Structure 1
Amino acid sequence: MEDALDKAGRPLKPLIPLLARFLIVFTFLEDSMRIYVQWEDQVQFFDSRRSITPFFSQIFLGLNILVMVLGSFMVVFKKRQDIGAYGLMSVLVSQAFAYGLAFHLYFFLRNLSVLGGLMMVLSDVIVQRRPMFAALPELSETSKRRYFQLGGRILLIFLFLGSFTQGKWTLPRIVFSVLGLLACIMVVVGFKAKHSAIFLVLLLSVSNVFINNFWTPGHNQFKRDFLRYDFFQNLSTIGGFLLLISVGPGNYSFDEHKKSI
């Protein structure tokens, strides 16, 4: 079965890393466009709800747009991806505190998932380098890559944990949650990680279209913005799982442990 999947996906294999990186940063590109389009509303929000003067809020919003756009292009086109990824991480953290969502469980867990995708990007760019001071002990690039892969795939699953805090529990949602949770556990321990990630990509893609359909008429502006936020964050998480499929779960996984036996 594994050989069959590899043969079926071989024509698409060169495109997966590019698609994965693009999806990971999609939420940042959409957010930068939203800030630009809703500039006055954003400034008013910070002034009335966060007690931040228009002068400082405009500087903050402008820097956010700059970092998100530049960081996204750096990640997608592999131009100092590490700097781009760290810049996007800083946006996640700064926005969480600026908008007062740092301790909101739902948004916190979803942001962790996006952070996991960025960690997968970092694991993909780490290469073998000779240590600067050979006599001094230091963490090797190989070890860093393993830790980033482990941390990335753990953080990716928090999207599902976040979904448990929202909505009503119906039979389809219970089935979706159980299947997703089992696949997430397999990803975390690294057991059939690539196959589990493929399943999660398909599951998230289908559910994203049907659940976060912000383009459907009848939603008020608040509901539409909320669904759009979820839709693009789901795309970023899908990108993280695609990158996991491309680069693998790393040495700290059950799959790699079996190979060494």
Structure 2
Amino acid sequence: MDALQNEAVKKRVKQVNDYVKRVRKVTKPYLPMITRVLIIATFVEDGIRVLLDIKPQANFLTYQYSLPFALSVMLIASTTLVSLAASAAICSRKPKLELYGCYAQLGYVFYQQVLYGRHSPIGSGNFGFLMRNLCLAGTLLMLIVQNRLSEGHTALPGIPDPGDKSTTMTYIQLGARALLVLLSLEFLSNAGAFATLVTIPVLLAVLLGFQTQISGTVLLIMYFLHNVSNSAFWAIKSDSQRNSFDREVKRYEFVQTLSIMGGLMLLISTGPGQLSVDSKMGRQKNF
């Protein structure tokens, strides 16, 4: 009986894998640009919003860090323009420009965390803001890995390989996978026992690189459902100053989650790397 059940499970897993492969085959020509548009979405949305309403941002820096107002404006404008230029570089899909764009956005994420980490307006608070920024960093690392591997490189410029069977990229892939699952901490804290029991195995599967096409797709769906239910900015009317502020925060959260989902899509399409269960079991060739 157990043997029959195991065969049924294996057959079902194979069917799901085959379905994911068919979907990937149809979307493959468009997937690289779709993932990049999703990844830069939060930087573009944040940049446009800040440039159109720069005075409150400058007042915040002046109040919190005692910076001169003119210097605050210059700092915000320059970093925002660099981020927007980096977004354009990522979408150019020219390897060098894309790589430098990713480095610039990683710097921008760090800059945002340093300046606003103690004063996060998002619903999950300062800890949630940190987790979201770490997820964004994981997304950008995943794109860096894809960029370097597609160019035939196994390490970052100027960094030698470890010298064993693994490469620098495989360790970065492992780190990126670990960072990408951190967004789940935002909804696990409020999830019931059943939802937690369902979610944790999916997180572990993605982290370990086990059945990555399936587990990554399930986690992608979870992030999407959480995004729609938790950050539905369109449901908030802008009929008061408080509601307008809440709407802006929810829109920021919504678009940021889309960017993190872009990183998950990259993971699903490129595979988890050598430091994964899939690689050890000979499934890396499926990606």
Same structural fold, with TM-score higher than 0.5 when normalized by the shorter chain: yes
Bigger radius of gyration among the two: 2
8 Å contact kept, 2:20–2:213: no
Unaligned runs of 5+ in 2: 1-14, 121-125
Q: Which amino acid aligns with 2:25?
A: R
Q: Give the drift of 1:9.
A: 3.1
One-letter identity of the residue aligned with 2:181: I
CA distances 1:133-188 after superposition (whole Å, capped 9, x unpaired) = xxxx93179712212211111100111123445xxx464xx544443332121111
Trace 1:131-146 onto structure 2 (pairs within 5 A). 138-139=160-161, 143-146=167-170
2:48 pairs with 1:33 = yes
Q: TM (normalized to structure 2)? A: 0.79
> 40-49 vs 105-114, which deviates more?
40-49
What is the letter of the counterpart of residue 187 of structure 1?
V
- Among 115, 120, 126, the alignment partner of 1:98 is 115
Counterparts of 2:230 and 2:186, CA distance in 1: 15
Could you tell me how far apart the structure 2 residues matched to 1:150 and 1:5 are?
A: 22
- Matched with 2:178 is 154
Q: Among 183, 206, 209, which residue is 2:228 paired with? A: 209
Match in the other structure for 1:116: 138
Mapped partners of 1:170, 1:105: distance in 2: 17
> RMSD of aligned C-alpha atoms?
2.5
Distance in 2, Cα, partners of 1:255 & 1:25: 29
Using the aligned pairs only, state the percent identity.
28
| Match 2:252 to one of 224, 229, 235 | 229
Aligned residues: 250
Higher relative contact order (CA 8 A, sep 6+): 1
Q: Please, what TM-score do these two structures have when normalized by structure 1?
A: 0.87
2:92 alignment partner, one of 77, 89, 93:
77
Instruction: Check 1:138–1:43 CA distance in 2 against 1; reply closer, same or farther (3 A cut).
Output: closer
The 1:93/1:8 distance shift into structure 2, 3 A limit, reads closer
Name which of structure 1's ranges 137-146 and 6-15 shifts more when overlaid on structure 2: 137-146
Q: Which has the higher mean CA deviation after the structures are superposed, 193-202 or 246-255?
A: 193-202
CA drift at 1:62: 1.2
CA distance, structure 1, for counterparts of residue 25 and residue 154 of structure 2? 33
CA distance in 2, matches of 1:78, 1:175: 42
SS of match in other structure, 2:67: coil
Q: Which residue of 1 aligns with 2:7?
A: none
Q: Alignment partner of 2:233: what SS?
A: coil
**Partners of 1:102 and 1:89 in 2: CA distance:** 20
* Structure 1: segments with no counterpart, 5+ residues: 132-136
Q: How has the CA–CA distance of structure 1 residues 247 and 102 changed in structure 2, closer, same or farther, with 3 Å as cutoff?
A: farther
Provide Cα deviations, 1:171-213, integer angstroms capped at 9, x if missing partner: 4xx5444433321211110001121111122222233123211
Per-residue deviation, 1:98: 1.7
